[in-house]
Homo-oligomer: A and B are copies of this chain.
Amino acid sequence: MTALMPEGVAVARDLVGPALAASVDRLSPEVRTVAAYHLGLTDAQGRPTGSGGKALRPALALLSARAAGAAPQRGVPAGVAVELVHNFSLLHDDIMDGDIERRHRPTAWKIYGVGAAILAGDGLLALAQDILLEDGGPQGSWAARCLSAAVLRLIAGQGSDLAFEQRDDVTLGECLTMAGDKTAALMACACSIGAVYIGAPPALAMGLAGFGAHAGLAFQLTDDLLGIWGAPEITGKPVRSDLRSRKKSLPVVAALTSGTAQGSQLAELLAGKEPLTEDDLVVAQRLVEESGGKRWTEAEADTQLAEAERCLAETDMPDDVRAEFSAIAQFITTRQS
C-alpha cells in the first residue's frame, strides 16, 4: 500500500521553506553554496531548483506549536532549527558512511569535497542554535536546550552506529538504544520544540516528546524493514541495500540474536569480507525472515506506534492537532513493500 503524504507536511513546507532559505542566506558565500545544494534549494551549478526537502520535521514542529494553542506561524523558527539540525547530520553522515548519492543526486562531499561539506554541516548546526536564540527571550533558550540535548544524543547514536560496524556481538538492546539516539531523539525534539518555543507547560512538552520518541523508533524500525524488503522505486536505494552494506540494522540484529539455526547461518554469511553476491543477498533476506527477524521488527514497530498513540491520547491538545500528529505517525510507519 502507498500512504498519502498528510496535508500538514505540505503546509509546513510552504510556511517553513522561505524561512529556511532565508536562514541559509545568512551563511557566508562559500558555506551557503554547499548548504543550499545539500538542501535541494540549488543544483550543482548554483541555480535555484524551486524545491527543497519534504519538511517532515518542520511539520511536527508547527503542529507542536498548535498543540500549545498557538498559530503554526509561531513555530516557524523551531521548525527551521530542527530541519537545519537534521540536514547537518545528513551532511556529516554522508561523509562518514561514504555515501555518494542522496535524494537521487550526488552527495555534497562528492561535488564540493569533504572539507567544504564538513564546514557546511557545521554552519547548519551553528545556525540552528542562533535562530532559536536570536529573539533573546527565555523560550528561545529552552528550545535551544531541547535542541542541544537532542543533538548530543544524535551524535552518540551515530558514534554507536559507526562502532557497530566493527563488532559482531551487538545486542538488540544496544541496537534499540542506538536507534533511539540517532533517530528518535530528534523526532522527539521536533514534536515538542514548537510547544517549548512558545512557552507551553512542561506536561504538554513531555507528552509530545514521548509521542515523538515512540513514533521515531517506529519510523526507524520501518525504515530498516524497507532497507531489506523495500522496492527500489520507493526507497530510492538498490534492492536489499542494507544487507549489501552489511548494516547492523534492527531486523538483522534481531535475526543474529534469535538463537535459531538461521541466525547462525546469517552470521556466517555476513562474517566474510568479500562483497555479497545477489544470490547471497537473497539467502540473507530469507534467513532474516525465517529466523523471525522480520516478524520481531514488524511487531516492535507496531508496539512503538501504539505507544506513540497512547502518549498522544493522554496528552491534552486540540482534537484536530492530535489527528494530524496521528496521521503523520501512520504515514512515516507505513510499510511500502
How far does the Cβ of A40 sit from chain B's closest Cβ, in whole Å? 20
Is A122 interfacial (CB 8 A cutoff)?
A: yes
Is A285 interfacial (CB 8 A cutoff)?
A: no
Is A334 interfacial (CB 8 A cutoff)?
A: no
Once the chains bind, are A129 and B148 in contact (CB under 8 Å)?
Answer: yes
What's the Cα separation between A332 and B145 when bound, in Å?
34
Once the chains bind, are B96 and A115 in contact (CB under 8 Å)?
Answer: yes
What's the Cα separation between A31 and B122 when bound, in Å?
17
Once the chains bind, are A92 and B114 in contact (CB under 8 Å)?
Answer: no
Is A155 interfacial (CB 8 A cutoff)?
A: yes
- Which listed residue (B96, B144, B145, B151) contacts A118, Cβ 8 A? B96
- Complex interface: chain B residues within 8 A of A138 (CB): 136, 138, 141
Chain A interface, >50% SS class:
helix
Once the chains bind, are B114 and A130 in contact (CB under 8 Å)?
Answer: no
How far does the Cβ of A54 sit from chain B's closest Cβ, in whole Å? 24
Q: Interface size class for chain A?
A: 35 or more
Is A5 interfacial (CB 8 A cutoff)?
A: no
Contact flag A119-B30 (CB < 8 Å), given A126-B148, A129-B144, A141-B133:
no
Is A262 interfacial (CB 8 A cutoff)?
A: no
Is A142 interfacial (CB 8 A cutoff)?
A: yes
Known: A30-B159, A119-B155, A136-B138. 4 other contacts (CB 8 A): A28-B155, A30-B160, A30-B162, A123-B152
- Which listed residue (B129, B134, B156) contacts A129, Cβ 8 A? B129
Residues facing B in A120-177 (CB within 8 A) are: 121-123, 125-127, 129-130, 133-134, 136, 138, 140-142, 144-145, 148-149, 151-152, 155-156, 158-160, 162-163
Residues facing B in A19-60 (CB within 8 A) are: 26-31
